[in-house]
Amino acid sequence: MTRYKITVEYDGGGFVGWQRQDNGPSVQAALEEAVFRFCGERVLVEGAGRTDAGVHALGQAAHFDLGKDTTADTVMKAVNFHLKPAPVAVLSAEEVAADFHARFSAIRRSYLYRIVNRRAPLALERGRAWFVPHPLDAGAMHEAAQLLVGHHDFTSFRASECQAKSPVKTLDVLSVQRGGALIEVRAEARSFLHHQVRNFVGSLKLVGEGKWSAADLKTALEARDRAAAGPTAPPAGLYLTEVGYPSAS
């Protein structure tokens, strides 16, 4: 039995999320079915994170075990062949140690949230960004975001259905940068609470609109109450960009 680590890209728009569910197609199920068509083995594809419906990935990580005698390159090519026409692609595959786990071995997760801030509606970016037609001050958003960096109780930015044992997390990076009409929010931490990044973005949008000050964002954080923070940003703008592991993995 060989364990393979794969890096996966997908458009989450047509899926109910990463995790296999009874109410629609999932990324996990698409991968598991592709592996079965390749080698006839029923496997469990374990992901590094359970992205929600409509959330995309540029670098999701996952692992599974195969009994078939094959190579990582063959796994990548064969799974991609059998994934068609699903908007999912295996970018790379490699053999890893039997104790490697895509979720529990991860030491860093990086997310990108994309906002298109212009008056004209989206044509090419529809379903892949949050369209905000009124002006946003990205500089003010970035300055306020720095108040969230560090070790905090993030209850105010945690979904009510979050299953994490503790709301306390260490946020390593939260940046906001504008390039033309595109505003990119980047977040990095060892792990995140359910909806944490989308809730950050929803609150930072209030800052960008001038409805909140940086002090208001800090007050929301310290309230430790979901009702004190801003709305949850739509899923279409969120991308899981990278999952980091110790170099020995």
Catalytic (active-site) positions: 52
Rounded CA-CA distance 191/200 in Å is 15
Is the bond preceding 85 in cis, omega lying within 30 degrees of 0? yes
Element at 221 (helix H, strand E): helix 214-223
Rounded CA-CA distance 189/229 in Å is 20
Rounded CA-CA distance 159/189 in Å is 17
CA neighbours closer than 13 Å in the CB half-sphere of residue 149 = 13
Region label for 54, one of left (φ > 0), alpha (ψ between -120 and 50) or beta (otherwise): left
Give the strand pairing for 108-117 and 238-244: antiparallel
Nearest to 209 by CA among 129, 143, 114, 134: 134
DSSP 237: G
Element at 78 (helix H, strand E): helix 72-83
